[in-house]
Structure 1
Amino acid sequence: MNHSILVVDDEYNSRMGVAFTLEQWGEDKVQIDMADNGKQAIRLLREKPYDLLITDIRMPLMTGIELLETLRGEQNGINTILLTGFAEFEYAQKGLKLGAVDYLLKPIRQEQLIRAVGKVIQSKSEEAANGLSYGVPSTNAYILSAVKYIHESIGMPLSIKEVAQHVHLNPSYFSVLFKEETGVSFSDYVIRLRMKRAKELLYHSPLSLDGISEQIGLQTASYFIRIFKKYEGITPKQYREQLKMMAAHGSQGSLS
């Protein structure tokens, strides 16, 4: 699984040193992009998702704290490591309150940088691994996180905007990425999951169609019946009756 990291620092030697260290450490599994100021970083972060942001605090045009405040204002919760001088410790504390996962004192020591980045990468990998249990043919951490959220929230109305916001991606980009990674559109994935849950409830529970509609995040039983028939070819009531007949035949067979 490849991980993308954005390094932001107005000091050329510091920026290149961090990038070179991480490229050597990560080999072909880490992609490093660079920016020399916060405004350039914002543009890059709006164009593509990154797994980690490493940013200096003291920079012209936009400080690392202002960069982080802007991202949080846009609901971008990207993991962030701050690079700071000793005199800027109060700023580093403010960064931690904004959700930065760590800070490193300049001059940066290679082993400290690698240890801090490694912790974030491991956390991302574990998050992706947890999502694999949902059977999605994707290794993209954003999509796996989205799928996990969909499964956990299937009993509520789900919009693509809401899920995209949850994983901190632009809805239009998320829509394209979801289709590329899963092979189906977001709306098709959600409705198929709703139908799968509906069949489980029709089989295992005595809930009415109104009750099942509510459990799978659909507003009315009539809409549930219409969608179920479109995807399954029969109504929920017919499906439940078929299950009862099959169960009855099965019990008769076991007694003979």
Structure 2
Amino acid sequence: MNKPLHPDKLEDVCAIMCSTYEIPVYYMDAARKVVFASLPPGESTAAAPERLSELTTDGSPASLPIIHTARTLENYIEVRLEDEGEYAGSLIAGPSIYSVIPEDTLDGIAKDWMVRDKEALRQRYGRFPVIPQKRLLQASALLYYLVYGRRIDIVDVLLANRSIETLFRMGENVDLEVSDRLNNSSLHHDWLYERQLMQLVKEGKPDQLAQEMTLGIKTEGMGTLSKRSHLRSLKNLSVAGISIATRAAMEGGLHPEIAYTMSDLYIQQIEELQDPDEVDKATKQALIEFAERVGKSSEEQVSSAVAECKRYIFNHLYGELSLETLAGLVHMNPSYLSRLFKKETGKPLTDYIQWKRVEEAKKLLTLTASSLSDIYSRLNFNDQSYFTKVFKKYAGVTPKQYRNGLRSEKDRADEHEAAGKPLS
């Protein structure tokens, strides 16, 4: 990770964020004391939330912004400052809320927290700036860039926050917990039209899909999924459509974890929208991206046996993996499976397993403060020396160097390609 700005410059960063997003921004030192704050007009330091210091109770550094959501629905961005591997303080921007708090939600909050003065509660939320989730993620990426001078993608921020939360809550595989499972849904409308769209998703044909949806997704015959709100009904239909597209994409070869994560992100985006036309656009965009992803994943065609092995490896990186186990899974002779796997992927099966575990270790080194011994033992490496040797073989640097921000040229190129940015 790059060295953060000098504390003297952090005050300017706070002022920039405050004026851009009309949100309070605080600089706290390593002792979790507020050093200074930039506040919107009308705010005062007395209005600073008492829970500011509680947001940083875990002093371990983080390589990406953290978004804290309080039980009372307000959000705070935290960018932790790390100097020579040590926690050096935090910049915290907040509070904000994703959307105007509905009346029934206010009733629930008042009841939960035994607040008698509901008008005071309404005024309290009225003072918070409304910053939808996507814009809050963009704000967190901007704050991080201003502090460290490194561009990051908002999807990485969202997934990292979800992964960090899961790791510290469950202590299990980040990617296996990356998305909440969606229940199967069905749409009450023209089945043939739905089938046509989903077939294009499954076949990975985004251009044809976009052409089919030029006149808008057909809504006649779909039924009403909310009698109280037309917008709510459209959102429900959109969620159902994305759920079906998720299944179609997986049938087309897209990895389930990628498909579920995309589904989750788009549904969260749609829940924030207040314009029916925007819901329609977001739904189209979701289906087209599913088709694009399927198309890209299908470029590397492998046999069903090799695909099944790759899925099993992905889901069992934290468990025992052996050639014999995989051969039994696909009912093949181990030697034949080994030759087939290398022929179709270019990597011997054992090398592929090591490579995938190194890729997983990279995520843990980047997104968590877990020790090297914890990481290599969880990923079934025998000892730290062997883990370091294997990691350097595939990453080009040692685990410690990788955690400190050193990347090989290939890793840097891959990161920039994933973020859609040229390598400078």
TM-score, normalised via structure 1 length: 0.42
- Higher-helix-fraction structure: 1
Q: Please, what TM-score do these two structures have when normalized by structure 2?
A: 0.26
